[in-house]
Amino acid sequence: MIVIGVLFTQYLSAQPVIPENGELFIDTTVPRIDIKINPDTLNWIYNNPTSDIEFHAVFVFDNGTVHDTIDPVGFRLRGNTSRYSKKKSFTVSFNTFTSGGKYYGVEKLNLNGEHNDPSVMRSKLMWDIMRKWQIPAPRANHVQVYINGNYYGLYINVEHIDEEFAHSRFGNKDGNLYKCLWPADLAYLGPDPDNYKLFSGDRQVYDLTTNKEEDDYSDLAAFISVLENSPDDKLVCDLEALFNSYDYLKIMAASIFCGDWDGYIYNKNNFYLYHNTATGKIEYIPYDVDNTFGIDWFNIDWAQRNIYEWQPGGSEKRPLYNRLIKHPELRRQFTFYARQLITSTIDIDSLIQSIEARKNMIAPYVATDPYYPLDYGYDYDDFLLSYTGATGAHVKYGLYPYLDARSQSITQQLETGTMAPVIKYIRHRRDPQLGIIIKAYAEAEALPLSVVLHYTTDNNTILLANMNYEGSGIYSVTLEGISGETAIGYQVVATDEEGQMNIKPCQLAVVRPVSGETPLLFINEFMADNEKTITDEHGFYSDWIEIYNGDNQEIYLGDLYLTDNYDIPDKWQLPGINLAPGGFVLFWADGNATSGNYHTSFKLSKEGEEIGLYNKDLLLVDTLSFGLQTNDVSRGRMTDGAAEIVFFNLPTPGKSNNASSAGETWDQSKLIVYPNPVSGPAIKFSQSINCKIYNYSGMMIFSGRDVTDIDVSNYPPGLYMIVTDDGRMVKFIKFSSGQ
């Protein structure tokens, strides 16, 4: 039996999440940021503009509703050529002096002076367009910046791209994140991954900002090798296996609309690549977009430039752009996205009205900005003019004339032809009650669109199941009656009104069996926020996972795997040891496999994720999933190998759970919220409390005294903060009842 359209959106973790602005990036007002720093230190920073040393400072944030002081923070200059400008740009770091320090979920902020742009609007506008189009771009807003009580001007506050950014967009942060600066052309340098560790001056061109100890560039080398060596008839499938090409086509269209010449395609500069471990694919993330919307240093009319020839002329290589724009199928998809951007995503008249409102909001802060005139002699009249006309030199267009000109020229340049259907974000999962749930995102130019699942249980007979449209491009189907011992292979087939067809993935996706000849091993206990419970052999408080042998004979562990991503079951291979009957072994989930045989290649996220143990055939042995964790509180089986999962006030790493106080005898200094995440009607507390609950936007939605549980059935899905009268804070996540 086939059940159509079961709602289970958490399976689409492959689809980027676009977080709300929240209090930190609120753009309906102009928040004030104060930096307090020793004056001598500030003078040293200005006298040493190339230094990246982060100095102790105090950060104060005030948006009219929120007023917070963070002490200490790290403070330094940022940028490349802008370090030598009169109006500097700065980085504020919340985790330099406070381990794990964050403010509204971010570890760093970039305060950009925008000295090139008399409108102080171009970067903000491009980030808004990207985010409106569901591209994982940074959040940004205008802010007033004061240092030691002195007004330093109007800035754009831009979210920093790091592992926390990756986690908020893709649900994981253990993949390689490369910061790519000039001359990052993605040209092929041979099969050796070390060839891509090249330098330009004193910095790396492809700078690996995460997983530095492993220093493994093999994913980047494999991606670039496909760009160089894959033949045209195999490019789509070869690229699909390693790169989110469909979303990059949207980024291409948006970047070219915005006239961004300082990114990858023209200037081989300013982008990040992130290896998304949920999909195994590399994601492209744009970065530093102030040279846009008519800013020009090359005597090129960017509003009129051909969208299919955006790269420089001559022999310079831009293989990512060139291979995609010359491939007929991908070129039609790019054309579709460019047309969609200017005909439905963006209405130029409405966009100009919203820009005008924001211009009026920031105008008073430009008028009094003492650094605004210093680099190019701009005055307040230039600010006003920059929206409607050119100001000369490198500003060849007013912002509004550029938008009109670029929209008209794209309309004239668009090629004819219809894009074949696009299929992406394919996900599957077994559910013990519902069956095998498969979801995919699909879109087409020629509607209506038919989406059908083709699957097999015996590698011979092909079965069909219509996939139901849920909205927002998502199609789904649930297959019932397939036993846990049965593997299935499947592909998604989309057909548009003109009969054009697309089949994805190119190779059969496999839903693995969940049972078979597996050892009697259990993920017995884990801790995802170890601050002071136990140290590893190096003295570090690393997160940990405990495995228990519930069998009556010893078990060899060297052919088993641990993972924090069910889609990558062989993420980390266990060491070649024998675990005695009834024995326990502890593994440190610190993401640093080079630290020893008992250190995994992945970290645990205290915000919640999944742990899986797989055998040599990649069949599931045991699994646990969890939500937001409290520091130094572990979770595990009530007794060794039992089914019930509980919190442990007294963790027992490497020892039996049977004698521990679990679930009921809570440390009164700790507030435990359960279940967390919650999809049912209520949350419960480990003790009676006086508290308030705030939603993600900072609005108080509950206040009560002497409560032990709260009805959350009417709360919208999202993240919430519980704040007790005695200052304790605990987050919880509300899922919809369908999840």
pLDDT digits (tens, 9 = 90+) for 321-345: 999 999 999 999 999 999 999 999 9
Local confidence band at 443 (pLDDT 50, 70, 90 cut-offs): very high
Q: What is the CATH number of the domain that holds 686?
A: 2.60.40
Res. 487: pLDDT tops 60: yes
Count of other CB atoms within 10 angstroms of residue 65:
12
Residues 392 and 434 in one domain: no
Q: Which domain holds residue 679?
A: 673-734
What is the maximum alpha-carbon separation in the chain? 83
Q: Over the chain, what is the mean pLDDT?
A: 89
Res. 153: pLDDT tops 60: yes
Res. 13: pLDDT tops 60: no
Helix (H, G, I), strand (E, B) or coil at 34: strand
The whole-number average pLDDT for the span 385-406 is 96
Q: What is the CATH number of the domain that holds 493?
A: 2.60.40.10
Q: Is residue 109 part of a domain?
A: no
- Return the ∠ at Cα 241 (arms to 453 and 505), rounded to 5°: 10
The whole-number average pLDDT for the span 193-215 is 94
pLDDT of 516 reads 52
Q: What percentage of the chain carries pLDDT values higher than 90?
A: 63
Residues 545 and 683 in one domain: no
Residues 324 and 460 in one domain: no
pLDDT of 348 reads 95
The whole-number average pLDDT for the span 348-375 is 97
Q: Is residue 83 part of a domain?
A: no
Count of other CB atoms within 10 angstroms of residue 49:
13
Site of tokens 């060899």: 556
Res. 729: pLDDT tops 80: no
The whole-number average pLDDT for the span 695-717 is 79
Residues 235 and 193 in one domain: yes
CB 639 within 8 A of CB 600: no
Ramachandran angles phi, psi of 49, nearest 5°: -65, -20
pLDDT of 492 reads 97
Alpha carbon distance 489, 507 (integer Å): 9
Q: Is residue 111 part of a domain?
A: no
Between residues 413 and 316, the one the model is more confident about: 413
CB 732 within 8 A of CB 679: no
Q: Is residue 153 part of a domain?
A: no
Q: What is the 3-state secondary structure (H, E, C) of 302-331?
A: CCCCCCCCCCCCCCCCCHHHHHHHHCHHHH
Residues 237 and 375 in one domain: yes
Chain-centroid distance, C-alpha 627: 18
Residues 260 and 363 in one domain: yes
Q: Is residue 119 part of a domain?
A: no
Q: Is residue 286 part of a domain?
A: yes
Q: What percentage of the chain carries pLDDT values higher than 70?
A: 94
pLDDT of 519 reads 78
Alpha carbon distance 489, 512 (integer Å): 9
Q: What pLDDT, in 10s, does the model give residues 403-424?
A: 999 999 999 999 999 999 999 9
Tokens found for residue 600? 């995994």
Residues 341 and 384 in one domain: yes
Res. 666: pLDDT tops 50: no
pLDDT of 696 reads 56
Edge-to-edge strand ranges of the sheet holding 271-276: 206-208, 177-180, 271-276, 281-286
The whole-number average pLDDT for the span 153-181 is 93
Residues 356 and 211 in one domain: yes
Q: Is residue 442 part of a domain?
A: yes
Local confidence band at 654 (pLDDT 50, 70, 90 cut-offs): confident
Residues 258 and 407 in one domain: yes
Chain-centroid distance, C-alpha 63: 26
Residues 262 and 292 in one domain: yes
Residues 339 and 274 in one domain: yes
Alpha carbon distance 113, 632 (integer Å): 41
Domain boundary among 400, 417, 434: 417
Q: Is residue 266 part of a domain?
A: yes
Distances (CA, A) of 136 to 58, 132, 475, 534, 621: 30, 10, 22, 37, 35
CB 123 within 8 A of CB 129: no
CB 450 within 8 A of CB 456: no
User: Could you give the number of structural domains in the chain?
Assistant: 4
pLDDT of 3 reads 33
Domain boundary among 417, 442, 477: 417
Preceding amide of 651 cis, omega within 30: no
Residues 472 and 536 in one domain: no
Res. 301: pLDDT tops 90: yes
Domain boundary among 600, 631, 648: 648
Local confidence band at 669 (pLDDT 50, 70, 90 cut-offs): low
